[in-house]
Structure 1
């Protein structure tokens, strides 16, 4: 199993909605975790009569749409709940569409993520071989018989119980059930 060294930090470009509607882009990039705390004075660099802010662009949040600063902060909270080295896996899990959401929204349930995440592997075959060793699949089978075991079929059947998502190197493996 390999580990990721890159940290994924959710960020949003927060802009003034009144300025945007008037044809001006006034805003800046912020960590998603802090998005709900950003004020119109922060965006304008001075006090302003404008009241509404909006996240017009996002980075490292696995949805492709605009959102409110409050929702961005919720995404930031979710990513803060997992270790830095697992953020790319959480992102991949949500982007795959085969994830468990908190309540009725789109936010992923981090406890389900932690329970289902099996790690980053060079390939699903590598994961399946390790799983076979861990559960003692062929432990009591004599070696001369074990050599006839059909690893390809067994691995293919195992894959039905998992989500496998490509990573920069290797794959992320998640239990589906």
Structure 2
């Protein structure tokens, strides 16, 4: 089991970033050379001249605009744009490399609160995320122990002996979103529904 701040090292992680290209070279000449910039390395939107310096392709006097061609490492359905790259950078800085896959899965699978830049809200994620677990059943058993579900019940009590754990876990699951992970270990990410 893992806490809110832990996840398996073998989760397929990728720092988000963008591929920046010269707009004219791509749209007119079909040249798809550009530069991949990680959000942690983003400073400002590069110029077309800088893109040409990176890729070594000759620049014409009509090359005047760089564009974000494609975003990588984001939740499905989201894009990095010049106006929201700082918000994505901030989200990645807060979430970190280890929890980024859980954040992406949460944004893809859940009812997500977004900020004004259409970036999933980090505070909501942190409030809802319950960690990586081998299964929801294991999470539920840990939850029952942590909350003292049977703490005041005598060990020999019929309530404890005949308690239907499977039904209790099934009922508890309605309060959570459970998604599979890309980790080699398998397992699930678990999020509280609010």
TM over 0.5: yes
Alignment counterpart, residue 27 of structure 2, candidates 21, 25, 31: 21
Which of 30, 33, 48 lines up with 2:37 in the alignment? 30
The 1:87/1:62 distance shift into structure 2, 3 A limit, reads same
Unaligned runs of 5+ in 1: none
Structure with higher RCO (Cα < 8 A, 6+ apart): 2
Structure 2: tracts of 5 or more residues without a match: none
User: What is aligned with 2:98?
Assistant: 85
Cα drift, residue 130 of structure 1? 0.7
- Alpha-carbon distance in 2 for matches of 1:70, 1:135: 44
Farther-moved stretch of structure 1 (128-137 vs 5-14): 5-14
Question: Which of 146, 156, 174 is the matching residue for 2:191?
Answer: 174
Larger CA Rg, structure 1 vs 2: 2
Following superposition, the deviation at residue 59 of structure 1 comes to 1.8
RMSD: 2.3
3-state SS of 1:129 partner? helix
Paired residues, number:
176
Q: Given the two structures, how large is their TM-score scaled by the length of structure 2?
A: 0.79
Choose 43-52 or 16-25, whichever is displaced more. 43-52
Query: What TM-score does the superposition give when structure 1 sets the normalisation length?
Result: 0.86
Give the CA deviation at 1:38: 2.4
